[in-house]
Amino acid sequence: MSNIAVVCGSFHKSEIERMLEWARDESSELGLDIVDVVWVPGAMEVPLAIDRLLADDEIDGVACLGIIERGQTQHGLAMGQAVIKTIIELQLVHEKPVGLGIIGPGAEPEHIEPRLEPHARAAVAAISSMLE
């Protein structure tokens, strides 16, 4: 059984808690063990949390769950692009998979609910696929 961790953005805590339950269910179905869950304030803190977890020899992969809504400025889009680029780089540096379960950037409120379960499950499934 492979050990994974999950990084959760706390800005939309109630939605992310639901995503975490679906991630737990998916990991159980795929034979992955979630051994650590780290809550971060927002998207900017996700890469550091992922980096720390991937550096742990006991962790085989990390899923990240979050929501980046569309705002009145381009801040969310710019932040989302920077975070995702950094997550890709961290996978390459650590040679371990990261499952991306971030809804957005640019998510409208009506886009969030239908994506919660699919994004959570897909983030864990991506790790499982890359560990095979």
Tell me, what CATH number does 47's domain have? 3.40.50.960
Domain range for 109 is 36-131
Question: Cα–Cα distance between 104 and 112 in angstroms, integer?
Answer: 9
Mean pLDDT in each 10-residue stretch from start to end of the chain (132 residues)? 95 95 98 98 93 98 92 77 94 97 87 95 98 92
Catalytic residue among 75, 94, 111, 119: 75
Classify residue 88: in a domain, yes or no: yes
Classify residue 77: in a domain, yes or no: yes
Classify residue 65: in a domain, yes or no: yes
Classify residue 107: in a domain, yes or no: yes
- pLDDT, residue 84, reads 92
- pLDDT, residue 79, reads 84
CB 21 within 8 A of CB 77: no
- pLDDT, residue 76, reads 73
Classify residue 13: in a domain, yes or no: no
Classify residue 5: in a domain, yes or no: no
Global pTM value: 0.94
Classify residue 47: in a domain, yes or no: yes
Q: Is 94 one of the catalytic residues?
A: no
